[in-house]
Amino acid sequence: MGVVTRPKKRRLQEERLRDRISSLPDDVLVDIVSFLPTKEGARTQVLSSRWRRLWRAAPLNLSPVGRACGIPVGEVSRILAAHPGPGRRFSMPECYLSYDDEYSETTLDGWLRSPSLDDLRELEF
């Protein structure tokens, strides 16, 4: 005897009931995404086209989570170039602050002038 499956419509209705976060308004979801570390916030983009827009609308939260030196320099530059801002939090570990390295000074200056960090709420050294 074969297994009886539920009609697709009913199964979809049950799935919608379980996914309550998607029913929240965009402004609430943007706030939620803005509190996530950058890597996790960016990962939400794969959920759907709606979530892709949400990450770009959320204030950026660039802080080192689980890394001794935070996010690699090149990755920070790419994130700042891709995100329109504003910024919620930007953490600059000591390893980014190499005063005898001219490249480092230019890079840091570019980061701090980035439109992504306009209206920055927290800056940590």
Cα distance between residue 63 and residue 124, in whole Å: 9
The pLDDT of residue 80 is above 70? yes
Handedness of CA 94, 97, 99, 100 (dihedral sign): positive
Is residue 29 classed as helix, strand or coil in its secondary structure? helix
Computed on alpha carbons and rounded to an integer, the radius of gyration of the chain in Å comes to 20
Domain count, the chain: 1
Q: Please check whether residue 5 lies inside any domain of the structure.
A: no
Per the structure, the complete domain to which residue 55 belongs is given by: 30-124
Does residue 10 form part of some domain? no
Give this prediction's pTM.
0.60
Residue 15 lies in a domain: no
Is 23 among the domain residues?
no
Residue 3 forms part of a structural domain: no
> Is the predicted pLDDT of residue 39 greater than 60, yes or no?
yes
Say if CB 80 and CB 120 are below 8 A apart.
no
Q: How many CB atoms lie within 10 A of CB 8?
A: 8
Work out the average pLDDT over 45-57.
81
Residue 77 lies in a domain: yes
| pLDDT tens digit sequence for 16-28 | 666 678 788 998 9
Q: Residue 110: pLDDT above 60?
A: yes
pLDDT at 1 over 60: no
Is 105 within a domain? yes
Determine the average pLDDT of the residues in 50-56: 81
- What strands, in cross-sheet order, belong to the sheet with 122-124? 60-62, 87-91, 122-124
Is 18 a domain residue?
no
